[in-house]
Every structure is written in C-alpha cells, then in structure tokens.
Amino acid sequence: TVECFTANQLKKQIKAFKCVKIEVDGDGDSIPPSVEGGAPNNGDGDLSGVPDSIEANVASFLDGATGQYVTIVSPVGSALSNVVVEPTPPSFAGIAPFGYFAFSVSGAPSPVAVTFILHGTGCENVTSLLKRCGTDPFVEYPALVSGSCQLTLTLVDQGLGDCDPTEGIIRDDAMPVNLAVTTTTTT
C-alpha cells in the first residue's frame, strides 16, 4: 500500500517526531558513559588512568540511596555486566548508605577478587557487606575492608554468593552496610 500526504499533513507528522539521545555502552556494564564519566577523578573512579566508561572490568555508577558514586573493579581481563542499582530496602534504612546493587562478572578464573570503592559521605563507616540471591534474605558475607572506603570480597564461581548457576559467570547482589549502627523500631 502507498499512502500519500499533503504538505500540511506531513508538517503535522514531522512536528510529532521527537529526538531521543541514545548512548552506546562501550564497555558492556549497562551503565551509560555519561554516568561513568561523572565519577570522581574525571570519570576514573578506580584511579587506573583510563576512563571507567571504556574499561570492561570497571563500573562506576550513582548509588540507589543518596546518589553518591560507587566503583566496582574486577580483575583485568574480566568483564562486568548487568549492573543494576536499587534503593536501600526500607528495613535497612540507616545502615546502608549506598543502597543495593547487583552485577555479573565473567572472563576471570575463579575465585575472583572484586573491590568496591565507595565515594562520598559515610563511606568510612561501612564495616560489612550483606548479600542475597534474588528474594532470599540478606546475609553477612566475608569482605575485607581493604582501605579507606574500600571493600574487597572474593567470589567463587558456582560457590557461596554466586547467584548465577551458569559456569563462568558470577552474579553478585550486594549492599555495603555499617553493622555497628543499631536501629530501633517503635510500634
């Protein structure tokens, strides 16, 4: 079928079109380059000398709680993907200043050391890491506080903390917390 339009009809159609900016995620982590480019150190949250937006093993993003930056670093040669950022679950308000996030790591031999670099206010108070798979309850996961505002954890493919049964892909769901803070619920 061929449809013909008058000049006025075409003008109306053209006015209805909108332009949408599409960003191509060059490193495959699901974080737009404009977000990674806003990370501390001019978009180099891990201080490697390379912009995070083009490093497959680095993802920098705004946390889901306060909008501060978090940088995840996996070994060189590996790749981060499917990075998802969520707000702090209500039951953890007050102890999880950076919200909850999930990601996958592939291309690295197991076990894999992954470092979380927390940028911003409250990072020095993070003492532990809580993890869960899907809707399972959060559990404390062994993580080493490896520097001011840094946590390093070791993930084992198809082992403790891996939420993806696929061999060669580690899915991690994590929430940095300050377990030294106690919260009281009033009824």
CB atoms within 10 A of CB 113: 14
pLDDT number for residue 13:
63
pLDDT number for residue 5:
64
If pLDDT is split at 50, 70 and 90, which confidence band does 109 have? confident
Residue 122 and residue 127: Cα distance in Å, rounded?
Answer: 11
Over residues 158-170, the mean pLDDT reads 89
If pLDDT is split at 50, 70 and 90, which confidence band does 84 have? very high
The pLDDT tens digits of the residues spanning 111-142 come to 999 999 999 888 888 888 999 888 888 889 88
Residue 182 has pLDDT above 80, yes or no: no
Residue 30 has pLDDT above 70, yes or no: yes
To the nearest 10°, the Cα dihedral for 132, 167, 54, 85?
Answer: -20
If pLDDT is split at 50, 70 and 90, which confidence band does 78 have? very high
**SS (HEC) of 51-108:** CHHHCCCEEEEECCCCCCEEEEECCCCCEEEEEEEECCCHHHCCCCCCCEEEEEEECC
Residue 169 has pLDDT above 70, yes or no: yes
3-state secondary structure of 11: helix
Provide the whole-model pTM.
0.82
pLDDT number for residue 186:
44
Q: Which two tokens stand for residue 156?
A: 């084992």
